[in-house]
Amino acid sequence: MAVRIFFAFTVCVGLLLGLASPHPPEQASGERSPARLPLQVKSLRTAIQDRVDKGKLASVFIAVVKDGKAAWQETFGWEDKEAKIKARPQTVYALGSLSKSITATGVLRLVQEGRLKLDQPVIPLIAPLRVRFFRGKPEDLTVRRVLNMTGGIPHGWACYPPGRIPASAAFFDRTALVVFPPGGTSHYSNNSYAIAGQIVESCSGSSFSAFMDSRVFRPLGMTRTWVGWRKAPGVAGMYDATGKRLKPYDFSPAAAAGMWSSGHDLIRYAMFHLGQVPSGEKAESGDPLLSRSLLNQMHFERPRDVPAAVMALGWGSAELEGRLRWLISNGSVHGGTSALFLLPDHRLAVVCLTNTTSNGAADELATEALDAWYPGFKAKLEKGIKAFQGQHHSGWKRDERVNGQWTGHIDGNGGSVAITLDFSADDKVFARVRGGKGSAVEGLRWEAGFLTGSFKPMAPMDGYSEGVPDKVELCLLPEKEEMHGYASFVIPGEHGSFSFPAYIRLRRSGQADGG
């Protein structure tokens, strides 16, 4: 779900505490001397080094950009623990979903060049690739709705060994679904950005990677940024939460979460979005990479008529207390986290990267750093999150909208699969697949009108060459005597997990009979 994934990073925004480290981190050239840093940042430096020393994080890059300069940038820990190679500002990290704002920048570049319009229907652009519509009209799926995640496209992901991502047509056939009418709902979706990546390829005549390199990375001087994992000097090793080194993998869809970049390059990217790129750095035509009007649309034009919509065009966008405008582009993948926070009205940005699986470490550290340069930011953020969750989120409790028994089908890779959901009198919910044994649905909650939860399938699920699904995640929208939405089949893998969505439709059929 969009709101859960988008705001989960800020749940852990408590103060960081730690003992001073006996091994002071190395400074990057050009940063402010530690003696001149705000007191809160000195505590933050100590806390970061403590995490590295205790093995909780392999390395951290963090920087604050203020008024066109890197006011503070510093690296901690190891690019490669086994080889004892220290992290540097040029170390390249997995970006995860921070890739989305960069992809959106590429799409807007095509708009700037007159090759694309934001309100243009998507389907003719990406033909002959197919998007399956279970709800809504194809003409209502526009470029804008793909970028702001109101296209009704379900979430999902896949982690393959390097170089083994399936061809676009094969991946599209499994993941490009529209399960809610475009323009009516908002929820987080990697697969929406798979379509964005294909729009880039279709409109540019280049591969996604080649276009991003020539029209975004190089014009911005991002020489250590690329699409997909590379075996190259200076690429950070990836580690799990226990410190074990992970096997490298390619994330699909790459346009959603498959980019890699250095802290140095992300400083340049942040400056561009703050309007602070040096005047000599322009696109090949001599024009700015994006006009101020397009940047404003990217940053601030959220769909106002869609409940709980938090995405502008590739950027999470919010107005906190005191009309403080805050932008976020962040990511979390197996083996790394990333965060880029902007306060555009104050010409202020924070970049944070890690190479360890964690529960939002980069977001937490970026929040602390931004609070040091803009005192009161964290309190405003916490207040905003509490208000948002109070308005749009609630825990599970019996609801007349869903009482009783519901039967229907999941249209997945293995064809149509029968499913029953029983909402029992004691607030428990059970799922039965193919008439098999009931499995308790865990983690039930309401999020912006959607009912979400997950269960372990007790019957075999066919049609997945990547392995056997061990969890099914539900996202359902109740409407009178019907519920519809998607079920995502989660499959563990050697290089990371997979999550493939399928359309689900249920109708109320009677009273529940328990587990």
The reply to whether 31 falls in a domain is yes
The pLDDT of residue 277 is: 62
Q: Rounded to an integer, what distance in angstroms lies between the CA atom of residue 115 and that of residue 135? A: 29
Cα–Cα dist 269/224, whole Å? 12
Cα–Cα distance between 98 and 227 in angstroms, integer?
A: 12
Give the pLDDT of residue 462.
65
- On whether residue 198 sits in a domain, the answer given is no
Tell which of 368, 392, 416 closes a domain: 392
Rg of the chain taking only CA atoms, in angstroms:
23
In contact, 90 and 267? CB cutoff 8 Å: no
- Tell me the residue type at 374: Y
d(CA 256, CA 344): 24
Q: Is residue 118 a part of any domain in this protein? A: no
More confident residue, 357 or 401: 357
Q: Is residue 353 part of a domain?
A: yes
Angle subtended by helix axes 168-175 and 190-204, to nearest 10: 140
* Per-residue buried b or exposed e for 415-436, using 16+ beta carbons within 10 Å of the residue's own CB: eebebbbbbbeeebbbbbbeee
Q: Are residues 442 and 298 in the same domain?
A: no
Q: 512 pLDDT exceeds 70?
A: no
Residue 514 has pLDDT above 90, yes or no: no
- Answer whether 176's CB lies under 8 Å from 129's CB: yes
Same domain, 348 and 454: no
Q: Is 263's pLDDT higher than 60? A: yes
Residue 412 lies in a domain: yes
pLDDT surpassing 90 at residue 437: no
Rounded Cα distance, 513 and 515, in Å: 7
- Average pLDDT of 135-150? 98
How many domains in the chain? 2
pLDDT at 63 over 90: yes
Sign of CA dihedral 270, 275, 281, 285: positive
CB 163 within 8 A of CB 288: no
What confidence tier does 322 reach under pLDDT thresholds 50, 70, 90?
A: very high
Q: Are residues 351 and 484 in the same domain?
A: no
**382 and 412 in one domain?**
no
Q: Give residue 273's pLDDT.
A: 96
Decide if pLDDT at 28 tops 80: no
pLDDT for the residue 35: 54
- Give the percent of the chain with pLDDT over 90: 74
Parent domain of 286: 2-100+209-392
CB atoms under 10 Å from CB of 360, counted, come to 20
Domain boundary among 392, 427, 449: 392
Which residue, among 93, 32, 15, has the nearest Cα to 57 in the 3D structure?
Answer: 93
Same domain, yes or no, for 370 and 417?
no
Which of 109-113, 323-327, 391-395, 462-466 comes out lowest in average pLDDT? 462-466
**Sign of the torsion angle spanned by Cα atoms 202, 206, 210, 216:** negative
Residue 456: beta bridge partners? Answer: none
Residues 214 and 327 placed together within one structural domain of the fold: yes
314 and 334 belong to one structural domain = yes
Residue 136 has pLDDT above 80, yes or no: yes
Residue 14 has pLDDT above 70, yes or no: no
Q: Tens of pLDDT along 252-261?
A: 999 999 999 9
- For the beta carbon of residue 393, count every other beta carbon within 10 angstroms: 16
First-to-final CA distance of the chain: 27
Distance CA(383)–CA(321), nearest Å, equals 8
**242 and 313 in one domain?**
yes
Residue 224 clears pLDDT 90, i.e. is over it? yes
The burial of 12, by beta-carbon neighbours within 10 Å (0-12 exposed, 13-18 middle, 19 or more buried), is given as middle
Cis omega (within 30 of 0) for bond into 248:
no
Identify the residue with better confidence: 42 or 62: 62
Per-residue pLDDT reduced to its tens digit, 486-503: 999 999 988 888 999 999
**Is the per-residue pLDDT at 467 higher than 90?**
no
Q: What is the pLDDT of residue 349?
A: 98
DSSP for residue 382: H
Q: Where are the alpha helices (DSSP H) in 54-189?
A: 99-112, 123-126, 143-147, 168-175
Q: Has residue 185 been placed in a domain?
A: no
What tokens were used for 109? 């570049």
- 467 and 434 within one domain: yes
User: For residue 138, how many other CB atoms are within 10 A of its CB?
Assistant: 13
- Assess contact for 81 and 237: CB atoms under 8 A: yes
108 is a domain residue? no
CATH of residue 433's domain is 2.40.128
Which of 344, 368, 392 represents a domain boundary (last residue)?
392
Quick one: DSSP state of residue 20? P
Over residues 271-305, the pLDDT tens digits come to 999 998 643 444 444 457 899 999 999 999 999 89
* Kind and range of the H or E run holding 8: helix 2-8
- The pLDDT value recorded for residue 168 is 77
pLDDT at 138: 97
Answer yes or no: do 375 and 428 share one domain: no
Residues written for the chain:
515
Identify whether residues 351 and 436 lie together within a single domain: no
**Residue 378: both structure tokens together:** 């964290």
Q: Residue 35's domain is classified under what CATH number? A: 3.40.710.10
Q: Is the pTM of this model over 0.75?
A: yes
Q: What is the pLDDT of residue 36?
A: 67
Nearest to 256 by CA among 93, 100, 148: 100
Across the chain, what does the average pLDDT equal?
Answer: 88
Nearest-angstrom CA–CA distance, 236 and 24: 21
Share of the chain above pLDDT 70, in %: 88
Question: Of 336, 385, 378, which is closest to residue 357 (Cα–Cα)?
Answer: 336
Buried residues in 456-492 as b, exposed as e (16+ CB within 10 A): ebeeebeebebeebebbbbbbbbeeeebbbbbbbbbe
**Is the residue at 266 inside a domain?**
yes
Encoded tokens for 111:
């708009």
Query: What distance in Å separates the CA atoms of residue 444 and residue 164, rounded to the nearest whole number?
Result: 35
The backbone torsions φ and ψ at residue 117, rounded to the nearest 5 degrees and listed phi first, read -125, 145
d(CA 301, CA 207): 28
User: For 244, which DSSP code?
Assistant: P
At 47, which amino acid appears? A
Domain co-membership, 368 together with 245:
yes
